[in-house]
Structure 1
């Protein structure tokens, strides 16, 4: 892999709390999924890669540029798109006004070309019919799609997405997957999510963070394979199991040592993730 982004020894503290602890990782063109429990450092990492936050120590190279250097940081910002976890909006703007304003901030000075780009990104996220609607009148899912539209302005080479499918209904999520899979064919996409099904559907690679470190980097199949031989189906609740749930067919699925009466089941990404992280993931589940 020829990485588009390389991170070495990345560290970030908030007071006495270490959020990123000597993080090392690489990812390149295509869609990379970022998983981890709450507090693992995912949002801090994405904010730093999007140049909205400075790291305490370590080195980052993104698209061959060093965001610690002021001139290179400006050049990098022209080539990246960022969807934050909690995007802010001007509620009295219309959608077309807001996206046009964001395009101006991205230094698109040709008015005609800029307006074409605004129409294009609104069409990409299925909001063309809402172009003249005030932002304050949008549902939560529509606001999420609007945030994605502004991230797509200028067809960025590096796209950083923090929980992009939060608030989307199943149909919108499928449309999002189709869009992101297409974008990943020609650029670098880093996608942070709690939805393991999005990772399974979209991502060629997956990174798992825990306590500020990358504890796994590989393919979704490799992550699922980490649970091979440790996933079981039982007719009754498994005694002594730390993690099990009742499936829709009335049987019980458990991850870990084989319970009494357990029969093997095919592992999923979620199974591998739960076993990889152990107690933190089980507490979150």
Structure 2
């Protein structure tokens, strides 16, 4: 299933949250990269049919969620992990995932329980399936949320900040799970962690201030910073951003001086440069 977004707009109390967002995503893992407040969660809630846009067009697998029939078909083929899943903490892992399976119209009890056990095992919680959610660690709760999103082998999986708050080991496990899921369907992964994008995504969409600033491969995004990263022994006054690294030298982002010692850019450099340029442009426009 493909995701197509054209000219999407959304306003809250007179404030524009999404301003003409346009992109497409197909099979594999697509990263939706942006800072807090960029509009990522609002966009994902619209794609998950939780919210309706004010303007623009959305298609998931060619279906239009703006129509009742299209919305029903999208929901049947969609897996969604919101940023705050809203667990029923008194339920066990099995009971919670089974409850979501019932909401997804899995009416045959034996087949439904087989599917619940399958996704619980897939996310590595088979031994914890009888534990109450209130007794799980944060990482286990995120895996429980991912399990319910994978019920029924959805065509599209939407994940809102799935690695937020996880320690490095938990984050690596999540990356492994998500990469395997992306082998069989379209995954849209929202994050502000550039390392998640670099590790997982074959495509990245950068959303800043409610607008699509970039749509391409991680390599293409990194290329935006080519020739704009340099090392120096002291903080460069002309840099957009500059920080002291572990070896005592400074890494600078911006427009380098003629004699600068250029450095190999990273996806984080390009992202910082992209958001920094946007903020500088907004400041100049407001002046």
Which TM-score band applies after superposition, normalised by the shorter structure? over 0.9
Q: Distance in 2 between matches of 1:4 and 1:261?
A: 47
Higher deviation after alignment, 132-141 or 252-261: 252-261
Structure 1: tracts of 5 or more residues without a match: none
**C-alpha distance in structure 1 between counterparts of 2:183 and 2:130, whole Å:** 32
Alignment of 1:46-61 (within 5 A): 46-61=44-59
* TM-score normalized by the length of structure 2: 0.93
The residue number in structure 2 matching 1:166 is 164
Q: Does the residue aligned with 1:64 lie in a helix, a strand or coil?
A: coil
Note the alpha carbon deviations across 1:130-158, whole angstroms, 9 max, x for none.
11111111222221111111111111110
Identify the match of residue 276 of structure 2 among 266, 275, 278: 278
Q: 2:74 aligns with which of 57, 68, 76?
A: 76
Q: Which runs of 4+ in 1 moved over 3 A?
A: 259-262, 279-282
Deviation at 1:167, TM superposition (A): 2.3
- Cα deviation per residue 1:199-232 (whole Å; 9 max; x = unaligned)? 0011110001122111110000000000000011
Give the Cα–Cα distance (whole angstroms) in 2 for the partners of residues 194 and 173 of structure 1.
14
User: 2:219 maps to which residue?
Assistant: 221
Aligned-partner Cα distance in 2 for 1:279–1:176: 32
Instruction: Tell me the TM-score normalised to structure 1 length.
Output: 0.93
SS at match of 1:243: strand
Residues 36-185 of structure 1 aligned to structure 2 (within 5 Å): 36-185=34-183
| CA distance, structure 2, for counterparts of residue 210 and residue 258 of structure 1 | 24
CA 1:281–1:248 in 2, change beyond 3 Å: closer, same or farther?
farther
CA contact (8 A) 1:231 1:266 kept: yes
Aligned length: 280
**In the alignment, is the contact (CA less than 8 A) between 1:144 and 1:167 conserved in 2?**
no
- Please provide the CA RMSD for this pair: 1.7
Q: Gaps (5+ residues) in structure 2?
A: 281-287
Partner of 2:32: 34
2:246 is paired with a residue of what secondary structure? Answer: coil
Q: CA deviation at 1:88?
A: 0.1
